[in-house]
Structure 1
Amino acid sequence: MIIKRTLRTLILLLVLYISATPAFSQSYQKVVAKAGDGIYVLLRRHGLNPNDHLQAFKELNEKNIGEGNSLYAGRTYLLPATNSAAAKATPATSSTSPSVLKVPLFGPKYERVEIINRQLAGAVFYLVAGHSGPDPGAVGKYGPHMLSEDEYAYDVTIRLARRLMERGATVYMIIQDPDDGIRDDNILKMDKDEVSYFGKPVPYDHKLRLRQRVADINRLALQHKGAYQRMLSVHIDSRSKGQNIDVFFYHHENSAAGLALAQRIHQVFDTKYNRHQPNREYFGSVTPRSSLYVVKYSHPPTVFVELGNIKNDKDQRRFVIPNNRQALANWITEGIINDYKASK
């Protein structure tokens, strides 16, 4: 009897000890970094959103992180647990979401995003900057400098992402450059380090590139069935140097929603041109073009935007000047807000 009583006491003490002990012994998945990996790429490769897990990763691996969040090829790193507080954070579309978000992808100067209002709460956007990775897209010359389509399209696109998030939208940057962020330079340095949303390298082959981004969009879209979802693909055209063109828009010929969004953005541009350049008619157009791969195969209604002619001097000023890039993002945002209101 004494032995049994003693045994029960020992078991009770053991249970109390276990329940009172903090769970510091949590095990973390170990992964090995590849050549050229940064934190963003590594996290996305393993299905983790850097916006949620960047800080936790740094804390777990602080002794093995190089300059500029670079990683050492061949070294082992710990991945943050997916049940962390960051992973459970309230989405930005919720009415109880925080009024300030931190988005490292926007760069140190712009990563703090204040939620101005909830005009776009419940709306989901997929934003694609044209070309990227090994493909710079259209190239033009600006004085002694070379301008590449992918860099300027990316800067307008990421500015657009920030504007939409400020209004409570859920936004996916389908092409991401973890090093660039939003840039306020006239001349944007050309690089090839952009990756897909899920952290995969951008393929060299043109068709594979398009298939990758469309697959990512459609995969994400499945998570938001029933929501207002739209996709915008941002590009800069290349024509003869003397041809000055305005911003114009393509949509799928069978997509009423895509047409409506394109028309509402177009209407904003027409109004802005009349206000800011009253002596100059706006010639931008809305045209069906279903043969474009991302327009044809993306499940959400899609608008394909061309910002101008990268070889024309006047058009170059439209996107070389940072304030003009911001204006483009602002005007597109205004058209999107009008479309979302109309859809409700």
Structure 2
Amino acid sequence: MPLYLLPLLALLQWFSLTNAEAPVPSSNSPLLPRTDVLIDVGHGGIDGGTSHGSLLEKDINLQLARHLYSILQEKNYNVAINRIGDYALSDDNRFPKVHSRHRRDLIQRKEIASRLKPKIMVSIHVNWSKRSSQSGGIVLHQKSEESKQLAHSIQRSLNELYNRDHSTAIGRTYFLLNQSKCPTVIVEMGFISNDSDRKRLTDPKLQRELAAAVAEGIEQYMNTNPGR
């Protein structure tokens, strides 16, 4: 297990919230070294996300996120990942006043980010369209200029990989983008409904190439925003 997963797993234990007075680690706790990138792995557990036949988005997200985690570590970034297996993040808390499992899941993702205080957060997802010709990666961002810059940097890298000319878009209705305090983007890594994209999303070698494109975009952003 990558070493930097251990602090995050410890953090998740604190988030059970069964006891309202349970200690919450501060941002300068020795368990929580400064996080450069928090990888948010979309869906998980009962929430499979979109699908194509037996292929589930939650599984592809995790595979791509693991590649991205590895590549960013190789580039000497401090990286955290909020899901390392097939489970719902809503299972890590009880939030008694929140009845919606989906809402609990989203709140948990936001809370992890608020405790870790990463420089940026990148949420990994897979797209789907009724039109099977739809292809390529698309990046959604917050209203903030920093989030836009991060999205544009990743989008350029994905467009080069896919040979597409997609533009970024503001994710006005997305909870994570609206609630996250750090620059955050949602990266739709490709269309599971497109044959060519689906191969890229599922072949281990091509998965790593795809993750490397996202990592390149992140690195370009970090290099132009050294103060973060």
TM-score range, shorter chain: 0.7 to 0.9
- Counterpart selection for 1:335 from 210, 217, 227: 217
Unaligned runs of 5+ in 1: 1-38, 48-86, 92-121, 178-192, 274-280
Using the alignment, how far apart are the partners of 1:90 and 1:166 within structure 2? Answer: 20
**Structure 2 unaligned blocks of 5 or more:** 1-5, 15-28
Between the aligned partners of 2:192 and 2:70, the Cα distance in structure 1 is: 24
Q: Aligned pair in 2 of structure 1 residues 302, 211: CA closer, same or farther (>3 Å)?
A: same
Q: 2:46 is matched by which residue type in structure 1?
A: P
**Alpha-carbon separation, structure 1, partners of 2:140 and 2:8:** 32
- 1:261 corresponds, among 150, 153, 164, to 150
Q: 1:243 aligns with which of 125, 128, 133?
A: 133
Provide closer, same or farther for how the CA distance between residues 322 and 136 of structure 1 changes in structure 2, counting only shifts above 3 A: same
RMSD: 3.1
The TM-score, its normalising length taken from structure 1, stands at: 0.53
TM-score by length of 2: 0.78
Match of 1:166 among 66, 74, 91: 74
Aligned to 1:214: 110
Check the 8 A contact 2:120/2:183 in 1, yes or no. yes
Deviation at 1:157, TM superposition (A): 1.0
**Cα-to-partner distance string for 1:298-327 (whole Å, 9 max, x where unaligned):** 111011111222222222111111111101
Runs of 4+ displaced beyond 4 Å: 39-47, 87-91, 201-204
Q: Distance in 1 between matches of 2:164 and 2:147?
A: 21
User: Residues 215 and 201 (structure 1 numbering): CA distance in 2 closer, same or farther, change over 3 Å?
Assistant: closer
Tell me which of 167, 174, 191 is aligned to 1:285: 167
Partner of 1:132, secondary structure, is: coil
Conservation of the 8 A alpha-carbon contact between 1:176 and 1:195 = no
CA contact (8 A) 1:310 1:316 kept: yes
| Alignment partner of 1:140 out of 52, 65, 72 | 52
Aligned counterparts, 1:1-344, within 5 A: 46-47=13-14, 124-141=36-53, 146-177=54-85, 193-194=86-87, 196=89, 200=92, 205-221=101-117, 229-240=119-130, 242-253=132-143, 255-273=144-162, 281-344=163-226
Flag the structure with larger Rg.
Answer: 1
Q: The residue matched to 2:134 in structure 1 has which SS?
A: coil
What is the percentage of aligned positions where both structures have the same residue? 24
Q: Is the contact made by 2:68 and 2:215 (CA closer than 8 Å) also made in structure 1? A: yes
Question: Residues 132-170 of structure 1: CA distance to partner in whole angstroms, max 9, x if unpaired?
Answer: 1210000102xxxx1000100111111111111122212
Shift of 1:212: 1.2
Deviation at 1:176, TM superposition (A): 2.3
Q: Aligned equivalents of 1:46 and 1:270: distance in 2? A: 39
Cα separation, partners in 2 of 1:304 and 1:297, compared to 1, 3 Å: same
Contact map agreement 1:243 1:309 (CA 8 A) in 2: no
> Would you say the 8 A contact 1:240–1:312 is kept in 2?
no
Contact conserved, 2:7 with 2:32, CA < 8 A, in 1?
no
**Could you list the per-position Cα deviations for residues 234-288 of structure 1 after superposition, in whole angstroms to 9, with x for gaps in the alignment?**
11112226233210100012x1111101111122223344xxxxxxx41322111
The separation in 2 between residues aligned to 1:291 and 1:208, in whole angstroms, is 17
Instruction: Give the 3 Å change call, closer, same or farther, for CA 201–89 of structure 1 in structure 2.
Output: closer
Partner amino acid, structure 1, of 2:103: K
Q: How far apart, in 2, do the equivalents of 1:331 and 1:242 lie?
A: 23
The total of aligned residue pairs comes to 204
